[in-house]
Homo-oligomer: A and B are copies of this chain.
Amino acid sequence: MSTSTRSPGRPRSSVDAEVFAATLRTVHELGYTRATVDRIAAAVGVAKTTIYRRWPTKGALITACLVDTFGPLPLEPGDTRDDVMAKAIRYGAAKIGEPGVAAAFAGVFTDAISDPDLREILSTQLQDPYKSVLQEALGESEQRVLFVIDVVIGTLLHRMGMTGRPMVEPDVKALIEMIQRQL
């Protein structure tokens, strides 16, 4: 009854990790719009059709890439509320500062604002896990946690969009302290 019932036929080659890496690299080098699926496929050394067999659209590919990049928060049992917030913000700042991540994020956002399906994917697959963990770790309401996520991620992305560079340490510290005061 397990899922060990493999479907027949040639199995998919396991290239997801390479595809994600190549996607971020290409988005970093060329920007979201010029990071074509063709180029990404070529960078991996697979055919474009192989990409489209796994992810139905470019937006879905980029979103999956972001979900893969943003792993679980590195929290520890003894963390205080302030520790949790500080670690979460520094983690987010570090991830968004990685090459290509901010551009990919902004690109998906642009599509998501006018695409309910993509927004659903983004909200469910990317935001909800952090929402749950933070609710648990902080003992705060869903509304307040969502507000904090808006502030943290929004601020970091806006800085990247306006300056093209990650937020500098003093501002990250200010962000942490502001949020800690808020909760």
Contacts and interface: CB of A to CB of B under 8 A. Distances in A.
A106 interface: yes
Q: How many copies does the complex hold?
A: 2
B178 A113 contact: no
Contact of A159 (B154, B163, B175): B154
A97 interface: no
A178 B171 contact: no
Contacts of A157: 109, 154, 157-158
Contact of A151 (B112, B115, B151): B151
Contact of A162 (B114, B115, B123, B164): B123
Interface string A92-133: 000000000011001101111111100100110001000000
A72 to B, nearest CB: 20
Interface stretch (A4-12, A27-35, A43-51, A76-84): A27-35
B155 A150 contact: yes
A156 interface: yes
A160 interface: yes
A151 B155 contact: yes
Given A31-B115, A155-B151, A162 B106 contact: no
Interface of A: 30-34, 102-103, 106-107, 109-116, 119, 122-123, 127, 143, 147, 149-151, 153-164, 167, 170-171, 174-175, 178, 181-182
5 contacts: A103-B113, A143-B171, A147-B171, A153-B158, A154-B157
